[in-house]
Amino acid sequence: KSSSNEPTKQKNNSVGQPATHASGPLHCTGEAIYIDDIPAPANLLHGSLILASKCHATLASIDVEPAFSIPGVAGVFTSEDIEKMGGDNKMGPILLDDYTFLPVGEKVDFVGQVLGVVVGASQEIAAKGARAVAVEYADDVEGKAIVSIEDAINAESFWTDFRHEMKRGGNVDEILTKSEVDGKRLVVIEGSMRSGGQEHFYLEPNSTLTVPSESATNLTIYSSTQAPTKTQDFCARVTNTPAAKVVVRMKRMGGGFGGKETRSVFVATAAAVPAKLMNRPVRVTLDRDTDMAITGGRHAFLAKYKAGAIVEE
């Protein structure tokens, strides 16, 4: 027995001791299952995205017929198909300012914007079908494309909703124009610094497997995502399916680092549309080049500074 004032010893105290990661043995043996490792369900179709090859232009037309000349292509889906099933094509993490599939007549904002999806018997067939889709653009957008921070500043194309100011004391701008403050010399320095954008470079690219059930009235979505709630929300909206009938399962990711907080959802919606309409499982797994080209990344920054210091002599 121990007295009441003696510290109680805890059994199996793990503080300061090496601990095995819960999935460590599976990772080391290669047995950990990621989305693209899930055994193919019966009647599985593979999807490949139709991507815009031009930006700062209007999407004039999409001709999907050439894709059907590729043996093994099972279907091609665009914004028209979302409209036909009563789905909501608009999406976005905060503002609904993006599309699952860009409609004809809308401005193409960036190269790689998703215009639709082709599904086929294999990934290679689907990709070949996506490349066969004929897309035309109209050069009727005024101005020039914004491709840098300076371009955005010059065009006044930026958000001001989240601007913050911290003010204390006198008028800083006025003080920094002077050479002296209270009889003491003022040294002023100014300049700028920039940081380029960064690719999150998760090991596992964006991948989704959508499995319909109950005559496609229910959807089970296996997705490599940091945002299962958003995935459920937008897959339900785009397919006109009650959210209560959309189940999202996310066992593990091969990395995310913030890159799959919102930018993974468009892959899930692209898989959900053909799965719902064809009542067949659909898997969409981006190759590395496509993933890096179209998912965005951490923002680039340009900072300009001007500061002053009183010289104590």
Instruction: Tell me what the mean pLDDT of segment 146-169 comes to.
Output: 87
CA–CA dist 129, 173 (Å, integer): 59
CB 221 within 8 A of CB 282: no
- For all residues of the chain together, what is the average pLDDT? 93
Is the pLDDT score of 3 beyond 70?
no
Question: Bigger pLDDT: 237 or 171?
Answer: 237
Residue-wise pLDDT tens digits, 288-302: 999 999 998 999 999
pLDDT higher than threshold 60 for residue 241: yes
Say which DSSP state 298 is in: B
For residue 78, the model assigns a pLDDT of 98
> Cα separations (Å) of 280 from 116, 124, 270?
17, 18, 14
Question: Judging by beta carbons within 10 Å of its beta carbon (0-12, 13-18, 19+), is residue 222 exposed, middle or buried?
Answer: buried
Query: What pLDDT, in 10s, does the model give residues 88-136?
Result: 999 988 889 999 999 999 999 999 999 999 999 999 999 999 999 999 9
Under the banding of pLDDT at 50, 70 and 90, the label for residue 51 is very high
Cβ count near 79 (within 10 Å): 23
Residue 251 has pLDDT above 90, yes or no: yes
Which of 200, 283, 267 is CA-nearest to residue 231?
267
State residue 130 phi and psi, 5-degree precision: -65, -40
Backbone angles phi, psi at 164, to 5 degrees: -125, 145
pTM: 0.89
Return the CA Rg of the chain.
26
Give the pLDDT of residue 10. Answer: 56
